[in-house]
Amino acid sequence: MQNLLADSEMKPMVNQVEHHPYLTQKELHQFCKEQGIEFEAWSPLGRGRILTDPVIVELGEKYKKTPAQIILRWDLQNEVVTIPKSVHKERIIDNANVFDFELSIEDMQAIDGLNRNERFGQDPDKLDF
């Protein structure tokens, strides 16, 4: 990002990178915030693999929401643009239904704490462009 900003006349409007509870990318997110660049989640549900995480499942039970809704609400409260993918109509509707509840600070921190820098996609630092 620093190389790009140094060499271009216009700032990118958005940076879409892999982001989910197992890969929170706090440093990059903060950098984008400071630069006024929107931070967008790629694979916000970790390709569906984080939906069975016990912490996420427990929070779903607490708030009476699905695990997907918990993760998507965590994104919104963190000011992360999030566009999950589903081929199921009911899930698409459910995934958009995240504006009628709010995660507490403690529960936001519990999800932050799941970070383990785990990628489901390729690592751009190791990709041969």
Enumerate binding residues for ligand NAP (CB under 6 A): 42-48, 51, 66, 68, 83-88, 91, 94-95
CB 81 to ligand NAP: min, Å: 9
Which residue number places its CB atom closest to ligand NAP? 48
Beta carbon of residue 64, minimum distance to ligand NAP (angstroms, whole number): 15
Whichever of 9 and 64 has its CB closer to ligand NAP, that residue is 64
Task: Give me the least distance between CB of 48 and ligand NAP, in Å please.
Answer: 3
Closest to ligand NAP by CB, 37 vs 105, is: 37
SS3 of 73-94: HHHHHCCCEECCCCCCHHHHHH
Alpha carbon distance 82, 3 (integer Å): 26
DSSP structural state of residue 55: H
Query: Of 5 and 92, which CB lies nearer to ligand NAP in the complex structure?
Result: 92
How far is Cα 15 from Cα 12, in angstroms, rounded to an integer?
Answer: 7
Minimum distance from residue 59 beta carbon to ligand NAP (Å) = 14
| Planar angle of CA 89, 110, 114, nearest 5 degrees | 75
